[in-house]
Chains A and B, each alone.
Chain A
Amino acid sequence: MSAALRSLLRRPAGAAGAAIVAAVALVALAAPLLAPHDPLALDLARKLRPPGPGHWLGTDQTGRDVLSRLIWGARPSLAVGLLAVVIGTLGGVTLGVTAAMARGWWEAVAMRGMDALASIPLLIWAIAIVGIIGVGPVPLGPFQLPNESKIVLLVGVLYMPPLARVAHGGALLEARADYVQARRLQGAGTLPIMLGDVLPNCLSPVVVQATLLIAVGIVVEASLSFVGLGVEPPAPSWGGMLADARRYIFSGEWWTYLFPGLAISITVIGFNLLGDALRDTLDPRKASGTVRVVA
């Protein structure tokens, strides 16, 4: 793996992608340390200040510090993108690999189910589900999950089909490979073969796909927050900041709508560069097809 990692970082696109992703992750984790101001602190005396000392990226319509809100806004973006992909990967890989190992009726049921799920358009369903359940926190025992958790769950489930397909394709090839047959003849059970041989060897295309899907998830979260169905104000989110900034396009307070959009775009570019570079390093034959992430 370390050889693959070195080869990844030697590619300029891969290194740039990894650097962007690492930087955004660090910003999200260290938000309380990095943010110069409280992202929620109103200061009506200093509203809509242009970038300058004290407020390096300016202030918004209620005098909140744009830079601090950008830093805190990295959290919901990454959380939604990553958690949705974790759900999709766990579900998709489990279904894909077990389907490839079991064959027969289980393969038919699992993969036809994935086909059905793949025919559901992501964004419109995210809008509909949040719309029907209603915007608001989700109570779960003693915890209050934020509104975004609905998006995470839905997007995660809809991410299962593409991940299940690449895992299934890879596992089919591995299960037929000579070394797996040899292990079987040695008397290894199905479960050890599945977990020890097939699973680790069919993960590379999954990793590529998962990285590209994180990028899509971030855009979905920002889009929903923009129309008021994602992160609930006043909590900072990049999409929500852009929703607040809309009317300042006409009055010229450019810092309110330029920086949040740049934050989303740069983060998404980072994941896309990383995903493309991972594909080139892990999967040079491009066996899993070329660009299969359409959203």
Chain B
Amino acid sequence: MWALLSRLLGSAAVLVAVSLVLFALIHANPVSPARVVLGNDASEEDIAQFDADNGLDRPVAEQYLAWASRSLRGEFGRSLVDDTSISRTIAQTMPVTVELVLWAFLLALVLAIPLGIVSALHEDRWVDHLARALATVGVSIPGFWLGLMLIAWGAVGLGWFPAGGYVPWTEGALPHLRSMVLPAMALGLYYVAIISRMTRSAVADVMMADHVRVSRAMGLGRGRIMVYILRNALSPIVTVAAMSFGYMFGWALIVEQVFTLPGMSRALLNAIFRRDYIVILDVVLIITAFFLAANIVADLLYRLLDPRIAE
């Protein structure tokens, strides 16, 4: 319980520190958003007016506090460039990113865990060597290139899937799901490799434990022993899976670019190229918060599954 509380406090501290760093970087930057919004031939007065209107002329500390108190109330404010509500932008783009990550995560779990178990049960046999070779290749292929190759194969070659773009649920479940297949594969393969390697080594470790040998010697059935093995191998697998979930949000941004999905990467990259600082700040902090939450869940599950750690 204390551990959880200190993790939560630590994460809150990290978010504050991180937002301070981003704020400082933004203000150390010589290019004012006014230049981008008003264009290069805007006069000094226009820029001063813009800065005054948006509170950019106030001291940095004051701006930070204003932004922080707004964010704590759950309001993200408005874009400096086109005055759209940032909350709305996020509400439109975040579901796409979250859905992509969920599918990729599901795909990774469904493929990786059986693969890792089979690999551990047949240690040093050809199935194991094949699975390990696949895992090494899997962690080495960059997701965005895999995405391009999947488009060449599944969209241009076979024509089974769309080459990109997002089909909303409202246009039918099947077209929607079809538009998520290739992106989920491109994002998920790396994590199939990571999680299957962890599963293999965790299961292989437990199989050598004394209690498993005793169970075997006692003549327990294979199924029964397997349940014991999995129960004991679970905590490192769950930890790596939860951590992977957090990391997926970062790589999802790149995969979204490949498949032109209207997720948070569009909001973020648009903001970057338009120097829309408040949007950059908010999107980065939201994804960092997801990542921190995934790490806390990983920690919690680890403690729940393996009470020895809690001591």
| A contact residues vs B (CB 8 Å cutoff) | 13, 115-116, 119-125, 127-134, 215, 219, 222-223, 226-227, 229, 239, 242, 245-246, 249-250, 252, 254, 257-258, 260-261, 264-265, 268-269, 272-273, 276, 290-291, 294-295
Contact = CB atoms under 8 A, between A and B. Distances in A.
B287 A132 contact: no
Chain B interface bracket (under 10, 10 to 19, 20 to 34, 35 or more): 35 or more
Interface in B189-246: 194, 197-198, 201-202, 236, 240, 243-244, 246
24 contacts: A119-B11, A120-B291, A121-B287, A124-B253, A127-B269, A128-B280, A132-B26, A132-B29, A222-B144, A242-B144, A249-B156, A252-B156, A257-B148, A257-B149, A261-B145, A261-B148, A264-B145, A268-B140, A269-B137, A269-B140, A290-B236, A291-B240, A294-B247, A295-B247
B179 interface: no
B52 interface: no
Contacts of A134: 29, 31, 275
B139 interface: yes
B280 A294 contact: no
B139 A272 contact: yes
A56 B287 CA distance: 43
Contacts of B271: 131
A295 B283 CA distance: 19
Nearest to A131: B272
A122 B246 CA distance: 11
Given A122-B250, A132-B277, A291-B194, 20 more contacts: A13-B136, A116-B17, A121-B247, A121-B249, A121-B288, A123-B253, A124-B291, A127-B268, A128-B284, A131-B268, A134-B275, A226-B254, A227-B254, A249-B163, A269-B136, A272-B140, A273-B136, A290-B198, A291-B201, A294-B244
Contacts of B66: none
Contacts of B304: none
A258 B197 CA distance: 27
B14 interface: yes
Given A131-B268, A291-B194, A121 B26 contact: no
Interface string B9-21: 0110110011000
Nearest to A262: B145
A110 to B, nearest CB: 15
Contacts of A269: 136-137, 140
A125 B284 contact: yes
A276 B251 CA distance: 23
A226 B257 contact: yes
B10 A123 contact: no
Given A119-B291, A254-B152, A261-B142, A132 B254 contact: no
Q: Count chain B CB atoms within 10 A of each CB in A13, A129, A249, A257 and give the residue with the most.
A: A249
